[in-house]
Chains A and B, each alone.
Chain A
Amino acid sequence: MERIPILRMGQFLIVSIQVDMHDRLALTLQSDLATRISETGARGVLLDISSLEIVDSFIGRMISNIAGTSRVLDAETVVVGIQPAVAITLVELGLSLPGVRTALNVEKGMAMLRHATGFDGHDAAPGSTPLSESSDDSAAV
């Protein structure tokens, strides 16, 4: 049966959806991911949907559910790579994914996860914002 691979990278799990999402696949992914989080004790989940061009309300709810499940299992979820058309569709469907962190690309998503979970040695000082990922370009204007 077709499955979406869940990759482990340190304390984080990475899921990249590269195929057309159908309902059964979405359900499988949800249960697989929940299992993997509890098995590995992962602290963060990065969900890359940059290849996803079509979403419906079901997929939108799946994303919410994955984030909810992860939170219960003490893992932060960041959804990255939402395409403009997908973002507009989700908003028009009334699914603004409250409580789900989003980032523009995988790199920013990883930075956000590290910051949120305080892992990977890059413990950010309290008060700094999740967006300030590189300090060397903070030159005075």
Chain B
Amino acid sequence: MADTSRAARSESGRIARVLEQDSANLLEAWIAAQSKVLSARGSISANELRSQSREFISLLQKAIASGASSVDGPDWDDVRGFLADLSKSRAIQGFSPRETAMFVFSLKEPLFERLGAAANPDADTRTTDVWNASLILDELGIYTTEVYQKSREQLISRQQQDLLELSTPVVKLWDGILALPMVGTLDSSRTQVAMESLLQRIVETGSDVAILDITGVPTVDTLTAQHLLKTVNAVHLMGAECIISGIRPQIAQTIVHLGVELGDVVTKASLADAFRLALSRTGRTVTRIDAHVNDRA
């Protein structure tokens, strides 16, 4: 047991030695290799790339020199932290997964060349060294990709959240009349957010009528209709009236074909019709002030 660990230590020591002694040449060769992958974009400056690469080599050298065999161990914290930061920043800058992963993988070629060129006694040792170095770099490369993917997912979920909040504005059309123009596909989470903000606004403004405008909803299926009915019911429970407007001819047909039961929900073809109804429900009418305008029209 002790023998193998000492052997591992001496093997990793050889990799560390190569990294330390030949670091300047290695850096140049590595940067050249990276530039080949990155050439298409050029969204990172040469200086930045150089400093990143230099830092990684020195961190890697320290970690390997520590002799820890597992990349998950505490000795590798610095390396993993560095790669995580790099990967996150590249994910945000819009690098492709390939470009991000190649940061680590492109080190293989120059490193293996140097491991081979070093004064090693026999082919077996050389193969072992290359194998060990390859294992380490593979692990780190996969780690980088994982972090990259996670950052992208976080970015996407944040954008989704933003979209949710932005896409459900409750507008006040008149005293006591609110409208909720819905745009995009209605799924349960969006309906939930829309419903919450609408009900909240009804309480704040003491509104009597809420108009649900679905002009911007591309398709209505049974599920969507169910979401709409839920919203209408909730508005009724709050003591306000709910009118659905903006039902396009195709959607009206779909609703009938699907056999969706809208019950006694008031529906109007256009927002204007719904607004007119809402005004009359709150005891108001729209009239022209100027009789001449009326005549000409």
Which chain A residues have a beta carbon within 8 Å of chain B's beta carbons? 79-80, 82-84, 86-88, 90-92, 96-97, 102-105, 108-109, 128-129, 131-132, 134-135, 137-141
- Cβ-based interface call for B237 (8 A): yes
Q: Contact between B239 and A138 (Cβ–Cβ < 8 Å)?
A: no
Chain A binding surface SS class: loop
Q: Contact between B281 and A103 (Cβ–Cβ < 8 Å)?
A: no
- Cβ-based interface call for B11 (8 A): no
- Cβ-based interface call for B209 (8 A): yes
Which chain B residues have a beta carbon within 8 Å of chain A's beta carbons? 174-175, 192, 195-196, 199-200, 202-203, 206-209, 230, 233-241, 279-287, 289
**Which residues on B sit within 8 Å (CB–CB) of A129?**
280-281, 283
Q: Contact between A105 and B279 (Cβ–Cβ < 8 Å)?
A: no
Given contacts A87-B199, A131-B208, could you give 8 more A-B pairs where the C-beta distance is less than 8 Å? A102-B237, A108-B239, A128-B283, A129-B281, A131-B209, A132-B283, A135-B283, A138-B283
**Which residues on B sit within 8 Å (CB–CB) of A97?**
237
**Which residues on A sit within 8 Å (CB–CB) of B203?**
83-84, 104
Q: In whole Å, how far is A81's beta carbon from the nearest beta carbon of chain B?
A: 8
**Which residues on B sit within 8 Å (CB–CB) of A109?**
239
Q: In whole Å, how far is B177's beta carbon from the nearest beta carbon of chain A?
A: 10
Q: Contact between A102 and B238 (Cβ–Cβ < 8 Å)?
A: yes
User: Number of contacts between A and B (CB, 8 Å)?
Assistant: 89
**Which residues on B sit within 8 Å (CB–CB) of A137?**
175, 283-284
What are 9 of the A-B contact pairs (CB < 8 Å)? A83-B203, A102-B236, A105-B206, A108-B208, A129-B281, A129-B283, A131-B282, A138-B283, A141-B286
Our pick among A88, A91, A102 for the contact of B239 (Cβ within 8 Å) is A102
Q: In whole Å, how far is A39's beta carbon from the nearest beta carbon of chain B?
A: 28
Known: A84-B203, A92-B230. A132 touches B238 (CB 8 A): no
Q: 7 tightest CB-CB pairs across the interface, nearest first?
A: A132-B283, A84-B199, A103-B239, A96-B233, A102-B239, A138-B283, A87-B237
Within the assembled complex, what's the spacing in Å between the Cα atoms of A92 and B230? 8
Q: Which residue of B lies closest to A82 (CB)?
A: B237
Known: A139-B284, A141-B286. A88 touches B236 (CB 8 A): no
Q: Contact between B237 and A90 (Cβ–Cβ < 8 Å)?
A: yes
Within the assembled complex, what's the spacing in Å between the Cα atoms of A103 and B240? 7
Q: In whole Å, how far is A84's beta carbon from the nearest beta carbon of chain B?
A: 3
Within the assembled complex, what's the spacing in Å between the Cα atoms of A139 and B195? 31
Q: Contact between A84 and B196 (Cβ–Cβ < 8 Å)?
A: yes
Q: Contact between A88 and B238 (Cβ–Cβ < 8 Å)?
A: no
Q: Contact between B206 and A131 (Cβ–Cβ < 8 Å)?
A: no
Q: Contact between A91 and B234 (Cβ–Cβ < 8 Å)?
A: yes
Within the assembled complex, what's the spacing in Å between the Cα atoms of A21 and B200? 23
**Which residues on A sit within 8 Å (CB–CB) of B284?**
137-141
Q: Which residue of B lies closest to A135 (CB)?
A: B283
Our pick among A79, A91, A104, A138 for the contact of B206 (Cβ within 8 Å) is A104
Q: Contact between B238 and A84 (Cβ–Cβ < 8 Å)?
A: yes
Known: A88-B196, A104-B206. A140 touches B238 (CB 8 A): no
Known: A92-B230, A104-B202. A131 touches B238 (CB 8 A): no
Q: In whole Å, how far is B289's beta carbon from the nearest beta carbon of chain A?
A: 8
